[in-house]
Amino acid sequence: MTDWDDGRTPPPAEQPPTMGRLMEQLSEQATRLVRAEIALAKAELTDKAKRSGIAIGLISVAVVIVLYAVGVLIWAGILGLDVVWPLWLSALVVGVFLVLVAGLAVWVAVSQLKRVARRPETVDRVKDDVETIKKGMKR
């Protein structure tokens, strides 16, 4: 017995969606998902860019302050040596010391760059592998 005793005809049973309709829905949902992911990625990158900009600005301020602090410390070193030597000699000794430290830093940097500039061993191994494969295929 049905609930339709008042003479009305029951609605037609729902037909399962066709393969074409399912593919259309899949396409629509995939497109919607991709667009939503792109929007989310844009929002995340915008947030990261803002935070990075603020951090870079703060680091820049800190670097300027440190540069001034280093200048003050150098001057304090010169004045401290002025107690035992004349001012000109104190400044000369501190200046020579700073040049030596800078030279050492450049020497270390150049040696590191030379290490980096060498071709990685992996490249040579890959070339050897390619050559071995080529020789094997010719046989």
Q: Does any domain span residue 66? A: yes
Tokens of 33: 């998902």
Q: pLDDT tens digit string along 89-129?
A: 999 999 999 999 999 999 999 999 888 877 677 777 778 87
Q: Does any domain span residue 9? A: no
pLDDT, averaged across the chain: 88
Pairwise CA distance, residues 56 & 46, whole Å? 15
Q: Does any domain span residue 57? A: yes
**65 shares a domain with 25:** yes
**133 shares a domain with 98:** yes
**76 shares a domain with 33:** yes
Contacts 24+ apart (CB under 8 A), 19-28: none
Pairwise CA distance, residues 139 & 134, whole Å? 9
Tokens of 82: 């002025």
pTM over 0.85: no
